Amino acid sequence: MESLSPTRATLFLAVTGLGAAVLVSWFFLTKRRRSLRKVGEVSHLFLYPIKSCRGTSIPEAECKPFGLQSGNLKDRVHGNEVCGRDCGDKASQWITSFLKSKEVYRLVQFEDNMKPRNPKNEYEKYTDHDKVAYPDLSPLLLMSEASVDNLNTKLQKMVTIRNFRPNIVVTGCEAHEEDSWEEVQIGTSVTLKRVMPCPRCILTTVNPDTGVIDMKEPLETMRRYLNC
């Protein structure tokens, strides 16, 4: 798959919630003639190596079936049983100590040779070729800077794009325009298809710099003006 760089990747729309869950599309563009129109550019890329933990901003990444990868870092459990390799006692002891928990926590890693979840049983838009490991919905989340800017005009205390934990951030489009894109192409060989607008959870209320939870915002405002 193509390596994505936010400094050069151009986003095209291949068809005429805040953030859209997307999948890598495995059919070739040459199989059908379509016109492309530019809708924006990739401005930021983020990885979340440990589910629910703080993300890492990266300058470029490979787009793979299970999400983005940058060097040894791979993108981020879900209610279903999914395989994983235990990362050992040392990692477990560090996490448990850091959280000051009486319960013991284990860190597990999904590897390419392991059997993923079958998302087709959960959502209609998935196919037999689609793969999902630990993320709740899809390997990738795409959203625009304009959507967050629009939300901030309605909030007393502003949030950042990092509150929403996207993988691919787009600039140059209208607010919430990404929610309607059925399929996008980035560069020359990365094609993504839309699954659905991403349901938003309480993690959006966590300050990504301090870890402090607001409990209400921005979810309360989003429910009002997005009718979700």
Domain boundaries, the chain: 3-78+124-226, 83-116
pLDDT of residue 106: 83
pLDDT of residue 198: 79
* Phi, then psi, of 137 in degrees rounded to 5: -120, -50
pLDDT of residue 207: 92
Q: What is the pLDDT along the chain (228 residues), one digit of tens a residue?
A: 444 545 444 454 433 355 565 554 433 344 455 677 888 999 999 988 777 778 889 888 887 766 777 776 655 444 555 566 778 899 889 989 988 888 888 877 766 666 555 655 666 666 666 655 555 567 788 999 999 999 999 999 999 999 999 999 999 999 999 988 888 888 877 888 887 787 788 889 999 988 899 889 999 999 888 865
pLDDT of residue 28: 39
pLDDT of residue 120: 57
Q: Would you say 119 and 3 are in contact if contact means Cβ atoms under 8 Å apart?
A: no
pLDDT of residue 8: 44
Under CATH, to which class is 3-78+124-226 assigned?
Answer: mainly beta
Q: How far is CA 19 from the centre of its chain?
A: 9
- The predicted model scores a pTM of 0.69
pLDDT digits (tens, 9 = 90+) for 46-71: 988 777 778 889 888 887 766 777 77
The DSSP line for the chain is -PEE-TTTPEEEE-----SEEEEE--S-GGGS----EEEEEEEEEEE-SSTTSPPEEES-EEEETTEEEETTEE----SS----EE--HHHHHHHHHHTT-SSPP--EE--TTS--B-GGGT-TT--TT--BSSSSS-SEEEEEHHHHHHHHTT-SS---GGGG--SEEEESS-TTGGGG-SEEEETTTEEEEEEEEPP--GGGGB-TTT--B-SSTTHHHHHHHH--
